[in-house]
Structure 1
């Protein structure tokens, strides 16, 4: 009963003593998975990130626009000789300074999500202010200059300003429209009132350029949003992996603690369990054999036999559990020596011969003679052979037959094979019977059930010897268990069998 409770406890991965943390972890995983499934590529999902990128862009390129304004003003003075253009340059530099001031203040204040809309409007207001400056530049005229030459100068300056603004503000949606709409309106009004074909052409070209750059900056804006979305998904995946790793670490820690507790329990309880069991076995054997005098009641004698049999079964169960625990803990040490495998098989057959005769089971031997000794742990290999023989006798029906073979493997190792003609094991149940405490349907229905630890112990012991265990079985056709030792365990190993070359075909000549 205690074993079942321990097993169920080991399967509890989440620490119940930390329920609040487990709920938080589960909530985080669900939210992350939902966010990954639904996606967040909508532009509104990254307004704050895009605004922060725009602020960095303004601060990094703060010197570019003033240089452009100064160059345009210097060229205008050179062409027109009118120094009043310096007043426009001062106005434009002041408008740009407002934008830079807003960017520095926003950077210093660390904008929160709730203030994104307010700051975005402020930056768009700064762009409108800059747009009015460019509109004033577009409305300037020079009577002393040639009309065409000054219009060409204005058009070149406006196109360069349009391109520079598109590059510098594509991270802020609609900034280009807010900046150059006043310019287009001013040129359109001038063209309609004055009818100057140069202004009409400039208005048309600037409008088309604005529409094209608005389209291109929109695509660039969406591309940046997509990049941010991919980055966000990657961060979410990393977060989920970290959460999963923390849960896995917690599960591993609990498993290690449970395994350590199990090992400590078995180590501390082995002596306490074996001592009273040995007393029970000893006294029950004395009573059943009537050493100290006859038992007047025959029922009491039957009870003493049952007590002795049950005690032996319990002691075998404890020994098997301790053996498997030592193997799993890596504390099962091999006491290796030179042993003849055939002799071990013969001794184990003698041990189960009495039980086999009681069920009228025939045990036949097929041993290769003259095989050299192997370097193994005799006690462990004897346990392997005895476990396999006991299973064969247990599940072979009365009047059945068991065949025990020992010989060479194709690779130069040695093997012991135990085959019976019992009911067999369904193919889908073989992994179950090879697991600890696992039993197939035939074993469960059998009146002579075991602990389910025999075959796992066999596998573990053979693995310690670098060997191999093979279980072949088919329903209603019997079972064959094969224990294989590698060639390096054989003290005088034979070379492996090589495939014979195909005989060469004789050439036939025809006259």
Structure 2
């Protein structure tokens, strides 16, 4: 019951993650449709209101000390034409209005998110900017001497441009604040110029109005850039959320796959015992009947049936062994028992073992290897299984009277390789990936109904990979197939002659003990 409940909870979690991903995609699609309407007049500023308010407040806070410096410079220069007391009063009043705006921005940043979403904040920002703009607008109204000259006019116009540009940069994210902070100064300066009645003043008044229009256009472009930046940020956040969801689903799928792999390994381990027990009885009794150990069988059909039963049981046992070998390797439970070996000797032993099968099909086995090859540090059983699997495939698919060559030599990088080449029908190029997969078989094997599981090459690749080696298969249709397995140079062992002789003596002794046993 516990396992069933855990499986149900896993399925529920997986389904919930998928539903979340679907909902987020729908929300992203809705957001993109809403943003596509940003260009329409009625919806131009309907999105990212909170984000733009944050940017507005953050800009005001960052400029908390830059604006007083500008006001101080204007006040000091104005001392050339304005009474110092009036100039100081204007500077202090402008400074207070500026810090009022900074205080409003700080209050907004510290307010909870639910209060920041209230409609009152845009109106507070607009009112504060209007009062702040009026503070700058009072500067041209300060009393000046009649003979101030053109220098004052130029200074007032330059101050207008700087103030409007500064307020445009600070208030571009909120269009109403932009108008509130720049329009009072422009209107006052324009009116003052028009009241002078001189052509130069008319020109400056026209330029002031043009500058106001230019900065409004600039502010609108800055607003579009801000919206685009916020849109990209929202897309990035959405993508991160999608990646987190996909990562969670991937982790869950990987965990489920690992659990399934463990369950598969346990199932195979259990079934191997359950299948091998009756198979041993089938093989033993069928062999006794086939060889007529307990007496002759007068019906030859029964004897043939016993041979078929023994052959089928042997094939099934080989299939079970190969599946178990591959499952142990994939589960990382196959341990290598490494020792110093001569690759050429193992290849020669495998050739001797396959000689009987080759003679049955009149296949000639060729064996060649380079002299002076050092020993390799490897698992003897694994290498023997690799070479036997490759030679078995070569003999199986080579037609009667063909040839199979076994070559042992050095690789270009100093390692050692074993190459097995046959004169069989070959493998079409498009079928090679299929042949290399587990349970994969080529079209020739299917047509000829050759017995096999399709696991031999998978086991070979896995065992060679555990030795840090490489596997290569080359085949031309109608010309044969060549399979090469190689071991890296790091597995070469270099011993003195005495040590090598002791290895040979131990190996001969072990072989003699095995034969006597």
Change (3 A) 1:444 1:186: same
Change (3 A) 1:458 1:121: same
1:181 matched to 2:183: yes
For residues 41-86 of structure 1, the C-alpha deviation after alignment (integer angstroms, 9 at most, x for no partner) is 9774443222212122334545766787789789989967698999
Change (3 A) 1:289 1:53: same
Aligned to 2:363: 362
For residues 386-418 of structure 1, the C-alpha deviation after alignment (integer angstroms, 9 at most, x for no partner) is 222221222223x33122333433546554443
1:309 matched to 2:311: yes
Aligned to 1:50: 52
Structure 2 residue matching 1:332: 3-state secondary structure: coil
Gaps of 5+ in 1: 1-13, 494-511
1:269 matched to 2:271: yes
Normalised by the length of structure 2, the TM-score is 0.73
1:23 matched to 2:25: no
Aligned to 1:392: 394
Per the TM alignment, residue 232 of structure 1 is displaced from its structure 2 partner at its CA by 4.2
Change (3 A) 1:403 1:63: closer
Per the TM alignment, residue 39 of structure 1 is displaced from its structure 2 partner at its CA by 8.1
Structure 2 residue matching 1:22: 3-state secondary structure: helix
Q: Is the Cα contact below 8 Å between 1:36 and 1:236 reproduced in 2?
A: no
Q: Is the Cα contact below 8 Å between 2:167 and 2:182 reproduced in 1?
A: no
Change (3 A) 1:50 1:342: closer
Change (3 A) 1:194 1:424: closer
Aligned to 2:259: 257
Change (3 A) 1:310 1:160: closer
Gaps of 5+ in 2: 1-9, 497-517
* Correspondence list, 1:129-278, <5 A: 129-132=131-134, 138=140, 145-146=146-147, 152=153, 158=160, 161-173=163-175, 175-185=177-187, 195=197, 200=202, 203-278=205-280
Coordinate RMSD, CA, aligned: 4.5
Per the TM alignment, residue 24 of structure 1 is displaced from its structure 2 partner at its CA by 0.9
For residues 419-452 of structure 1, the C-alpha deviation after alignment (integer angstroms, 9 at most, x for no partner) is 3222211122222212222211222222223111
Which whole-Å CA distance do the structure 2 matches of 1:307 and 1:171 have between them?
86
Structure 2 residue matching 1:480: 3-state secondary structure: strand
Which whole-Å CA distance do the structure 2 matches of 1:274 and 1:107 have between them?
74
* Correspondence list, 1:491-502, <5 A: none
Structure 2 residue matching 1:331: 3-state secondary structure: coil
Aligned to 1:425: 427
Change (3 A) 1:187 1:448: closer
Aligned to 1:6: none
Structure 1 residue matching 2:164: 3-state secondary structure: helix
Aligned to 1:462: 464
Change (3 A) 1:325 1:74: closer
* Correspondence list, 1:456-495, <5 A: 456-485=458-487, 488-489=491-492
For residues 17-48 of structure 1, the C-alpha deviation after alignment (integer angstroms, 9 at most, x for no partner) is 52012221344367669979998897744432
Change (3 A) 1:91 1:260: same
Alignment: residue pair count? 477
